[in-house]
Amino acid sequence: MVRLQSRMVELGTAAPPFALPDPTGRVHALPDFAASPGLLVAFICNHCPYVKHILDGFAGFAREYGPRGLAIVAISANDVRAYPEDAPPAMAEIAARHKFTFPYLYDESQAVAHAYHAVCTPEFFLFDQSRRLVYGGQFDDSRPNSGIPVTGVSLRAAADAVLAGSPIPVEQRSSVGCSIKWKAGNAPVA
């Protein structure tokens, strides 16, 4: 496991387009969420201990914020040849087990992960109604074995502000997690 911190993408950056399949093959694309006042794009995977640590909290966050109008998608971009536990069939199992209320998409080419400048899992990108980045980084300060409870406080504060049409009141803090498992020759240049 390689522990990384997310890059801090410049606020105001436009949401890169995506059109990715969920494990059933249904394609979800950025325009599908145009009516929502905010869009959260989360890079996660199945095997990362950092993701596993927050997964129930994140699924609960989605059940709370989805009905309030926040569109949410999760994307796995890991190389499934090297990490078969992250393949779409296992993604479907994770989504069912944790009662995901949002699409869990597979970025086989890893092009979307590159476009978002994602480097680790979990990593969160929150966009406002105009699909400009207003928050990028962590779910909260909790990490595996940290003793800090998983609350999602950082992302909750940002999502509350987006849904209220207010400025984001929280400090942007990098996410910490496992590196995205890039295909050979596909890793971003630092």
Distance, CA of 166 to CA of 141 (rounded, Å) = 23
According to the model, what pLDDT value does residue 6 have? Answer: 60
- Per residue in 155-182, pLDDT (tens digit) is 999 999 999 999 887 678 888 999 999 9
Q: Does the pLDDT value for residue 2 go beyond 70? A: no
pLDDT in the model for residue 96: 97
pLDDT of residue 3: 57
Spatial distance between the Cα atoms of 43 and 123, rounded to a whole number of angstroms: 5
Domain segments of the chain as ranges:
3-10+34-179
What confidence score (pLDDT) does residue 44 get? 98
Whether 1 has a pLDDT exceeding 70, the answer reads no
Q: Kindly report the CA angle at 135 between 107 and 67, in degrees rounded to 5? A: 75
**CATH code of the domain made up of 3-10+34-179:** 3.40.30.10
Does residue 149 have a pLDDT over 90?
yes
Q: How confident is the model at residue 98 (pLDDT cuts 50, 70, 90)?
A: very high
Does 80 score more than 70 pLDDT?
A: yes
Q: What is the pLDDT of residue 152?
A: 96
Write the pLDDT tens digit of every residue in 101-133.
999 999 999 999 999 999 999 999 999 999 999
- Taking only the tens place, the pLDDT of each residue in 27-73 is 999 999 999 999 999 999 999 999 999 999 999 999 999 999 999 99
Q: Which residue stretches of 3-110 are H helix?
A: 49-65, 88-97
> Does 9 score more than 80 pLDDT?
no
Q: Could you give the C-alpha distances from 23 to 26, 28, 62, 79, 88, in angstroms and in order?
A: 7, 11, 19, 15, 5
> Which of residues 94 and 7 earns the better pLDDT score?
94
Helix (H, G, I), strand (E, B) or coil at 105: strand
Question: Is the per-residue pLDDT at 7 higher than 90?
Answer: no
**Closest listed residue to residue 15, CA positions, set 151, 162, 142, 174:** 162
Q: What is the pLDDT of residue 103?
A: 98
Decide: helix, strand or coil at residue 93.
helix
